[in-house]
Amino acid sequence: MAIEEECGVFGVFRPEAARVALDSYYALYALQHRGQESCGIVVNDDGVFAEHRDLGLVGDVFSADVLERLGTGEMATGHVRYGTTGARSRVNAQPLVVNHMKGTMALAHNGNLANAAELRRELEGRGSVFQTSTDTEVISYEIIHARLKTASIESAVEAAMGRLVGAYSLVVMSPKKLLAVRDPHGFRPLCIGTLDDGGVVFASETCALHAVGATYLRDVEPGEIVIAERPEVADPEVPIRLRSIRTHCGTKPHSACVFEYIYFARPDSDVDGMSVHIARQRAGRFLAQAHPVEADIVIGVPDSGLDAAMGFSHESGIAYDTGFIKNKYIGRTFISPGQSSRERGVRIKLNPVPSVVAGKRVVLVDDSIVRGTTSKRIIGLLREAGATEVHFRVSAPPFLNPCYYGTDIDSRDNLIACHLSEEEIREEIGADSLGYLSIEDARRMAEPAKIGGFCTACFDGNYPTPVRAEVDRYTLGLSTGQPKPMDRPTISQVKEARP
């Protein structure tokens, strides 16, 4: 079973037929950081669905001709996906469109189910035939089976949620309605915005709202189903009505993924009412308090280490400077297998500024250490540029456990902190000192967020849901030709590959 890592979802519902494909295009561009493997858009024109999905970046997949062919409509949903090496197939691109006895449904999903293998076996036993290796298709079949017994798409989703365990933020489009759905734990973000013409948008992050000129309304609450629909009696003041089903709200402890604030989300986004930029600065301040050091400058590893580096500088009083220039024209297609290729990739992607670091004691701030290989190469670049000392500070705790909710940490074999002590890691990466953010401070960095609780299972092993199905997941993956967990890319490789 393919793990779906960080992905981005979007949906739009306008009062009149419009270029909603273009809305989706701009939104997916804003969400591109959440997935660079594939993308797709489905347009709903009065119940007729037109779709285009393919492997590649948004700008490559959607030409002007493709957007023109998608035409106009009142609704659309879009998706950007990052998947695994073995799951790199057009058939796994989303949104997933399913035709069933009661109509057509398009579904875009961010997250990962902990009980997907169990549900899939059960569904196959009932006659379901799977075309993809994604959790999304499992969710779609659960909704469709429930739809055959219920009066509406929202009641079908409500029923299906009772069987889903794990992380899922969904945008579901039927011929007449657009739904935003968030799992009861609230693992992955999902927000609501409004348009000047009375339209409604749903998106993984607020940066996508800004891209289409939408005004942030609020976040979808954990366990909530938000329905956007036309009122029964036409109302020019409220052409698109929002209503909510809260049956599953409050049924589980809130467990938002803290790694959204550390790495996934764009710094200009607000997640559950908390600025990602401010959360990362708070992490840097906590690092400076817990791991002070005598140094001349503080620099960050672009891009997700920059805000934490600023926070470290503000708290410590050590000057902040730009120590690396990032080549913004390097994308996933540059990366090729092999150790030498990866080393060349780091050198081309990140370039130290010798005039800044030469002869200086440097505090280097990054968002994580996974395998340690990337950290070692970056520290080596600073040494070559003349840095006299490199003190490494990490705005995340050590990774010690696999994640089953959508983060690309699937095996302890790939986690350096599972095999080496902190001092041994420091020696391995070549740093003069090493300091991690504590688990307590990881929670505190996003403490002002409205959701009120965070998942830190990849750091402390306290999983919010049962995860006994993980062995079945990988066994099932092997039976469908997917790679073993060791063959899957790690966060370090993902970071190297990101544009």
d(CA 387, CA 376): 14
| Residue tagged active-site, from 7, 39, 191, 207 | 7
Quickly list DSSP for 244-286. EE-TTTTSS---EETHIIIIIS-TT-EETTEEHHHHHHHHHHH
Both tokens of 296, joined, read: 């001349």
Q: What is the dihedral of CA 118, 124, 130, 135, to 10 degrees?
A: -20
d(CA 340, CA 407): 27
Radius of gyration of the chain (CA): 23
d(CA 22, CA 212): 9
What's the number of CA atoms in the CB half-sphere (13 Å) around residue 43?
Answer: 21
Q: Which helix (H) or strand (E) holds 184?
A: none
d(CA 201, CA 178): 9
Please confirm, yes or no, whether 191 is among the known catalytic residues.
Answer: no
Looking at the DSSP bridge assignments, the partners of residue 219 are 191
**Which residues are documented as binding site for Mg(2+)?**
304, 366-367
Q: What is the dihedral of CA 249, 251, 253, 255, to 10 degrees?
A: -50
- Shortest CA distance to 270 belongs to which of 185, 203, 207? 207
- The answer for residues whose C-beta is within 8 angstroms of residue 234's C-beta and 6 or more apart is none
d(CA 486, CA 122): 27
**Pair type for strands 297-300 and 319-320:** parallel
d(CA 434, CA 180): 42
d(CA 158, CA 251): 13
Looking at the DSSP bridge assignments, the partners of residue 180 are 171, 226
**Which residues are documented as binding site for [4Fe-4S] cluster?**
257, 403, 455, 458
Residue numbers annotated as active site: 7
